[in-house]
């Protein structure tokens, strides 16, 4: 077997997708916890991006961390994992676009990914978010193991 075929077979293995699903889910749960506990700081970070109308800043600061928490928990448990992967992928693309816009503007804003004191945005941040988006796409395409919603559905209708 050729080496590229072997690498492709390994990448498509369900356990790789499971590991990525748990990693991305845990990452989003972890990222949401500080934002939930410090919503005012997160609102300041959102306002600093200068991409959201003023009236929507507090709404986003109050709701976005909960979306991250729920989607992360769904990924970890395997309940509606593909739907959660789509939402997380969408959020990662949105975050990446916000970072690109502010880097091109030269706005000195903290990323706000994990806390208010996190590193300032850079091209490494863009690369990191794109890698996470690729991991999320991999989960969407190849994850087929240990889905709690399938077990619940089968048990109810058996």
pTM, two decimal places: 0.85
pLDDT at 151 (0 to 100): 57
Exposed (0-12), middle (13-18) or buried (19+): which is 38, by Cβ within 10 Å? Answer: middle
3-state secondary structure of 120: strand
pLDDT at 157 (0 to 100): 53
Intervals of the chain under pLDDT 50: none
- Dihedral pair phi/psi, residue 28, rounded to 5°: -75, -35
Give 35-88 as a DSSP string: HHHTHHHHHHHHHHHT-S-GGGHHHHHHHHHHHHHHHHHHHHHTTTHHHHHHHH
pLDDT at 10 (0 to 100): 79
pLDDT by residue (tens digit) across 2-17? 777 787 787 778 888 8
The alpha carbon torsion through 45, 64, 92, 134 (nearest 10 deg) reads 140
Q: Which residues, 6+ apart, have CB-to-CB distance to 34 below 8 Å?
A: 114, 115
């Amino acid at each position: 077997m050729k080496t590229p075929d072997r690498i492709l077979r390994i990448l498509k293995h369900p356990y790789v997708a499971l590991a990525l699903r748990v990693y991305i889910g845990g990452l989003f749960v972890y990222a949401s916890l500080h934002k939930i506990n410090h919503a005012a700081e997160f609102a300041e970070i959102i306002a600093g991006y200068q991409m959201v109308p003023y009236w929507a800043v507090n709404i986003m600061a109050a709701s976005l961390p909960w979306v991250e928490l729920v989607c992360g928990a769904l990924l970890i448990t395997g309940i509606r994992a593909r739907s959660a992967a789509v939402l997380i992928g969408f959020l990662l693309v949105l975050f990446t676009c916000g970072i690109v816009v502010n880097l091109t503007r030269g706005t000195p804003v903290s990323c706000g990914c994990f806390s208010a004191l996190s590193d300032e945005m850079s091209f490494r941040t863009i690369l990191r978010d794109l890698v996470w988006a690729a991991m999320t796409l991999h989960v969407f395409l190849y994850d087929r193991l240990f889905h709690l919603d399938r077990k619940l559905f089968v048990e109810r209708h058996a």
